[in-house]
Amino acid sequence: MKIDLHIHTTYSDGEKTPRQILDICEKKNMKIISITDHNNINGVKEAIRINSSKEITIIPGIELSAKYRGGQLHILGYNLCLDNVALNHLCTLIMEDNLKRIQSLVENLFNVYKISFKDEELQDIYNFKGNIGRPQIAKLCVKYGYSSSVKEAFKTLFNPIKDRIIKRTIEPTAKECIDYILKAGGIVSLAHAITLNKEQTELKKFVKELTSYGLSAIEIYHISHSLAFSKQLLQIADELNLLCSAGSDYHGHIVKPNIDIGEYSKEKINESDITIISSLLR
Given a cut of 80, is residue 1 above it in pLDDT?
Answer: no
**Euclidean distance between CA atoms 170 and 131, whole angstroms:** 13
**Euclidean distance between CA atoms 240 and 243, whole angstroms:** 9
| pLDDT range class, residue 266, cuts 50, 70, 90 | confident
Mean pLDDT of all residues in 237-244: 98
- A 10 A CB-CB count for 267 gives 9
DSSP 37-87: -BT--HHHHHHHHH---SS-EEEEEEEEEE--SSS-EEEEEES--TT-HHH
What's the residue count for the chain?
A: 282
pLDDT in tens, 18-31: 999 999 999 999 99
Given a cut of 80, is residue 165 above it in pLDDT?
Answer: yes
Given a cut of 90, is residue 131 above it in pLDDT?
Answer: no
Residue 257 confidence (pLDDT):
84
pLDDT in tens, 51-93: 999 999 999 999 999 999 999 999 999 999 999 999 999 999 9
Mean pLDDT of all residues in 101-117: 98
Which among 192, 191, 276, 201 is positioned nearest to 239, based on CA atoms? 201
- A 10 A CB-CB count for 232 gives 19
Domains within the chain, CATH numbers bracketed: 3-89+170-280 (3.20.20.140), 98-164 (no CATH)
| pLDDT range class, residue 40, cuts 50, 70, 90 | very high
Mean pLDDT of the chain: 95
